[in-house]
Amino acid sequence: MGAPLTAIAIGPSPLLDLAGRTPLIRLSRIERDCPGVELYGKAEFHNPGGSVKDRPARRMLLEGLASGQLRPGKVILDATSGNTGIAYAMFGAALGYPVSLCVPANVTPERKRMLMAYGVDLVLTDPLEGSDGAIREARRRYQADPERYFYPDQYNNDFNWRAHYETTAPEILEQTGGRLTHFVAGLGTSGTFMGVGRRLREWKPDVVLASVQPDGPLHGLEGLKHMSTAIVPGIYDPGLADVDIQVETEEAFAMTRRLAREEGLLVGISSGANVVAATRLARPPAVVVTVLCDTGSRYLSERFWEAS
């Protein structure tokens, strides 16, 4: 074993203030699939770490600092399929804390390289177990040495969804001028859907909330969970959604290509799945907002880009 990791906490970094306030982009060409509907994507790839996960990672770390659970000498530990891990790595570096992440071995090479670039202690878990295997390994490590780690446990941390309740949802309401009729988001940790959905439900009880997940346990939609066959996040409430839409991997791939080639938006696969679901759901007149979760530059090694 190498020398123990140490941290020098330097206080909150200005980098943390850059998360949020992302633009809302109208998907004018994709709208042609559903005449009479306004379709918008919340461009979360504009966050400093390139994904929607910057918001909850920031909030969970700040809460850890405020409570004293994250203090000098601690290592930030969690399970991730990549994006939350990149956010932890970025913010951890800015704050002066080392980061250890359990990640499925089959995440894209781009994500692994980004994590290594930030100096993360990367623990690759069984690809056949997906994010569940990473969760089990993170739990095992924390239970074996709880004094060593600050373990936010993003799948069970209420500050995950609260970050979206307090920031993402109000931004969407402001940016749509309160005209929103439908909100569509994928389920991974479920934090985005739960946080935004709860805030929107309070604002307008008849708003349509649609969750999105893969159509089966063996899928290629990184970051999304097939809830009936996976470890269900503790923060997930299936009763919030008015409708749950299942999306096939290939149709998500096709939409991700379309977003790049028709809208000029290089986004990731879960974004493609969200837009597929949004077009399937919407009926005129409607103002539909979905989430463009991350940048497509994290998936350029995937072969689906080569299709015509």
In 3-state terms, what secondary structure has residue 156? coil
In the beta sheet, which residues pair with residue 294?
A: 51
Helix, strand, coil shares, percent, the chain, to 5: 45, 20, 40
The domain limits of the chain are 14-52+164-306, 54-150
Read off the pLDDT of each residue in 22-28 and give the average, rounded to a whole number. 98
54-150: CATH topology: Rossmann fold (3.40.50)
Q: What is the pLDDT of residue 12?
A: 66
pLDDT at 8 exceeding the cut of 70:
no
What's the whole-number average pLDDT of the chain?
A: 94
14-52+164-306: CATH topology: Rossmann fold (3.40.50)
Same fold, 14-52+164-306 and 54-150: yes
* Residues assigned a catalytic role: 53, 270
d(CA 307, CA 114): 26
pLDDT tens digit string along 65-86?
Answer: 999 999 999 999 999 988 999 9
d(CA 149, CA 98): 10
**Longest distance between any two alpha carbons in the chain, whole Å:** 62
Q: What is the pLDDT of residue 282?
A: 78
pLDDT tens digit string along 157-208?
Answer: 999 999 999 999 999 999 999 999 999 999 999 999 999 999 999 999 999 9
Cα atoms found within 13 Å of the Cα of residue 150, Cβ hemisphere only: 26
Q: Please, which residues have CB within 8 angstroms of residue 146's CB and are 6 or more apart in sequence?
A: none
pTM of the model: 0.94
